[in-house]
Structure 1
Amino acid sequence: MPIIGNGKNKGVNVNYAIDTSDYIRKLSNIERMYLWSPYSDVSMVTRIKGNISEEKLRSALDIVLQMHPLAGAKIVFDEDYNAWFSTDNVFKPFFKTVNRISDTQWLEELQGEVKIPFNPETGPMIRFVLVYSEKVSDLVVICNHSVCDGMSLVYLIRDLLDIYTHPEQEIKVIEPVDIKDFLPKGGFSLQSVMMKLVMGHANSKWKKNPYYFDHNDAVAVQDAYWEKYVFNTVLLELEPQETKSLLKQCRNKGISIGSAVIAAFIAAHEDIVGTFVKNQKQLWVPFDLRRHATTSVGDVFGLCIGAPRFSYNYNAKKPFWGNAAVLHKEIHERVAKLDSHTMETPDSHPTFMDALSSFALLKEVVPEAYTKTENLKKYFQDKKNITFSFAKRSRSMVPGTIPSNLGRLNIPETYGDLKIDRMIFFPVISDSVPLNLGGLSIGNKMVFSLSYPESRDKINTMTGEMIQIRNRALEYLGFPDKASEKAIEDTINGVKRTCQMQK
């Protein structure tokens, strides 16, 4: 791996030319964007009824990591600092079991784990926590976004429980892909082409004075970030009959549940907090590109999402369901056209992406981190570096809402003596995006997470606001009786409790 350095002192490359023929493939720029960022993990919590064996689960996990190579991969950097996926001599993933004492204990485990940086060079970039009791357990999976998306975690958990139940079955490796290779020509926008030209010019300037970041730099920034913030979430949960009721209402109006929930959260945010500022009156809406590939790629584990970005103004003078219908039409037209330009990146040098996405954007958020390593000091003092001007412009493009809705999952609920009771999805969060939503339903139990980094200096202030937004969204959807002053329901030993998430 290259020693840290800049354009005037590039350092010495201690990695001589390497043979990449045995590696899985090179990371794309979009995957590279999430490699070092402190809030670049996606997570899934799966509640499992039944007495699950830790030993059998660990054995099944060994097989699943062979089935889905990226889940068990590390990153190797070549002499040009390109990053490659490799499964050669990778450690086993972190796995721990803790005794389950409440329905909300998974949150404490998740809050602790998201603060711990993954080391891409040792890998793998995934970890597991089993919050165990004899009758019900919560499986918490945390994974770096550079190797997976939300559906990847769904497929991994499904296959893990399937192999757990039927360990004798023949296992087929699902080879990872670069999803762009399977998209039809013309699926990308003119806007992305223009951005490619602009950043091509920036790339030429970057190459005159580049910086090479490593794990120590990333740890310094991530530690500083999570000393200032704590991961938190508020859940909107509907039981089967409630989900069916909402589905019937949405069908009568010709829209999807997802569109209705997104519109409800946007309306609620404007009621509680106020109208979005100008640049935040837009959405990024991730969607699964696997469903649109011209060649079948199967249930592949990897980063396989597109995301249109478009302006959207909620019109408070019109009825809620009319607003939801407008939003539904906009989303589905853009997905049908494979409008995914926000997920594309130009052919800039990957170190430019490292600097922009994981270091330049956080310069003003955690300036104290940039004194922790010599490389960060030099970078921080380079005031005219092209990535800082790009970071300033990038902030004006940040949307107000990013709804990552996986929809109704088409996977089994029952695996032998085990049954999935519910699943909760947590996409990548950001301190600059007001509404980060993650949604899915299984067994007609629908859960939407509203997640955010909360400042430790104002702990619970933001959570109180998010609870109000959730409650107002429930009103718009027709469930005012489900409003609560708490963020997550907690039932243990048959007694219903609530949990105000405090840390």
Structure 2
Amino acid sequence: MAKECLYGDGKSPFNIVIPFKIKGEIKEDDLRFALFRIQKKHPWLTAAIRIDEDKRPWFVTNLTEDFKIPVRMVNRVDDNHWAQESISEWKTVFDATNAPLCRMVWIKGKEVSEFLMVYHHCLCDGTAALSILTELLQLLDEPDTDIGREIPIMGVEDVIPEKVLNSYRNRTKNGLIGKIATLALWIIPIKKVAVERKNDFMINWKLGQDFTKQIIQFCKANQFTVNTLLSAAVLTAFKEVRKEKAFNKISLPVDIRNFNPIIKKDHIFAFGLMIVLSLLPEKDFLENAKALQKYVNDKSSKLNPYSLMMMMEACHPALKNFTNFLKYGKSSNDCMFSNLGKIDIPYQYQNFQVETIFSPSVMGPLGNTTTMIASTYRNQMDFTFVASEGYVPFVEAEAIIRKGNRYS
């Protein structure tokens, strides 16, 4: 159901953009060959969407020679050109019935170029996208590199152990919970008027290497993760800037691979596990960070990915209602915050250098678009803040960033 929800009706874009900058000469033929090799490894990169008689979307592979990842080339204007092209790519719908759910934009300059790898979110998550980026860079540098071959995930039977999946107790319990959730989605009244999003925008910034190092050391000394510190900073910044408009809630995506070893980093996969965090008003910043860490640890220890996946499967009849709930329901959180952590991709290759990897951006049609994504590459934390003026005005976003940097 997660993939179907992200795909929606196929008429609205829900795109992830992975930008990176390369210094050095890249040949167009080498890029196209690298993309060809990546498609050979990952069958779902050769897949289009087909709708069955029950109006459910399915991945269907297309192995014809002309079913290639498209490359759009533009002449580089300046250092900010990649951000403009990213926003353009948010709005560009994938022709999912006739083309792959992945495309490439090459912002070509004389000495440096930026590249955007764009995916429909129903295809993969950030972890898979970065894994594919790793393979792309390897192949650009050495076209004969063996990147292996993915055995694709075809259904729940491939990611849930047979013993768990066939357990009568598990099937009954999770099926019942799924049906209750389905019923709730049917009876919850929802207004059919979405919030006017107005202009979508993006702000990207980096922290220096010394500051990044200090943050990591501070977190280790206080026994909480960088992710927890940043979460506390984001919540505090929203509260100080938006005041009574703040919800004191952020959603943290949790990589299901951390709980399900069957799903590998290079598996093309997307499944939404979320933890919601809030500050405790009676505690100061440092105490809140420690309290959030305890909450995350407790919550994570109780997460059961197999049950969640089985419940989602049982909710298929309520897909349309769930999508409407997300799209038209009243917003109840400040933003989604995702920290991809350290990106383990080399800087120096034989034929080029990867100057930077920007944190991804994502924009979709389902409700509040406000998202902050962090990552660390070459010992520098990088942040991308994405929102729509109808949810968070641009001037408030800038103030939130200033406040957040003060706490991080």
Distance in 1 between residues matched to 2:388 and 2:103, nearest whole Å:
20
How far apart are residue 349 of structure 1 and its match?
4.1
Alignment map for 1:231-246 (pairs within 5 Å): 231-246=200-215
Instruction: Give 1:76's aligned residue.
Output: 50
Instruction: Give 1:301's aligned residue.
Output: 268
Q: Calculate the aligned-residue CA RMSD, in Å.
A: 3.4
The Cα offsets for residues 416-438 of structure 1, whole Å up to 9 and x where unpaired, read as 22222222211345684374111
Structure 2 counterpart of 1:116, which letter? T
Give the secondary-structure state (helix, strand or coil) at the position aligned to 1:307.
strand
Alignment map for 1:230-379 (pairs within 5 Å): 230-275=199-244, 280-295=247-262, 297-308=264-275, 310=276, 312-315=278-281, 317-338=282-303, 345-349=312-316, 352-354=318-320, 356-357=322-323, 362=327
The Cα offsets for residues 46-99 of structure 1, whole Å up to 9 and x where unpaired, read as 122222222211111111112122233111223333332122247323311112
Seen in structure 2, the aligned counterparts of structure 1 residues 248 and 422 have a Cα distance that, compared at 3 Å, is same
Alignment map for 1:67-466 (pairs within 5 Å): 67-88=41-62, 89=64, 91-177=67-153, 178=155, 181-182=158-159, 185=164, 195-201=177-183, 229-275=198-244, 280-295=247-262, 297-308=264-275, 310=276, 312-315=278-281, 317-338=282-303, 345-349=312-316, 352-354=318-320, 356-357=322-323, 362=327, 392=329, 395=330, 398-423=332-357, 424-428=359-363, 432-433=367-368, 435-455=370-390, 462-466=393-397
Distance in 1 between residues matched to 2:173 and 2:353, nearest whole Å:
46
1:468 aligns with 2:403: no
Distance in 1 between residues matched to 2:201 and 2:186, nearest whole Å:
40
Whether contact under 8 Å (2:3, 2:122) holds in the other structure is yes
Structure 1 counterpart of 2:178, which letter? K
Distance in 1 between residues matched to 2:389 and 2:366, nearest whole Å:
8
Distance in 2 between residues matched to 1:107 and 1:226, nearest whole Å:
25
Structure 1 counterpart of 2:211, which letter? E
Structure 2 counterpart of 1:229, which letter? K
How far apart are residue 275 of structure 1 and its match?
4.3
Return the TM-score normalized by structure 1: 0.69
Give the secondary-structure state (helix, strand or coil) at the position aligned to 1:414.
coil
Whether contact under 8 Å (1:430, 1:452) holds in the other structure is no
Indicate the percent of aligned positions where both proteins have the same amino acid: 22
The Cα offsets for residues 267-310 of structure 1, whole Å up to 9 and x where unpaired, read as 01110111456xx44332212222332436352122145223x4
Gaps of 5+ in 1: 1-28, 206-224, 363-390, 478-503
How far apart are residue 193 of structure 1 and its match?
6.5
How many residues of Structure 1 are paired with residues of Structure 2 in the alignment? 389
Distance in 1 between residues matched to 2:139 and 2:43, nearest whole Å:
16
Whether contact under 8 Å (1:413, 1:443) holds in the other structure is yes
Give the secondary-structure state (helix, strand or coil) at the position aligned to 2:360.
strand
How far apart are residue 145 of structure 1 and its match?
0.9
How far apart are residue 452 of structure 1 and its match?
0.8
Give the secondary-structure state (helix, strand or coil) at the position aligned to 2:312.
coil
How far apart are residue 450 of structure 1 and its match?
1.5
Return the TM-score normalized by structure 2: 0.83
Q: Quick check: 96-105 or 228-237, which moved more?
A: 228-237
Which structure would you say has the larger RCO, counting Cα contacts within 8 Å and 6 or more residues apart?
2
Structure 2 counterpart of 1:450, which letter? F
Q: Quick check: which has more Rg, 1 or 2?
A: 1
Structure 1 counterpart of 2:179, which letter? L
Gaps of 5+ in 2: 188-193
Distance in 1 between residues matched to 2:258 and 2:76, nearest whole Å:
37
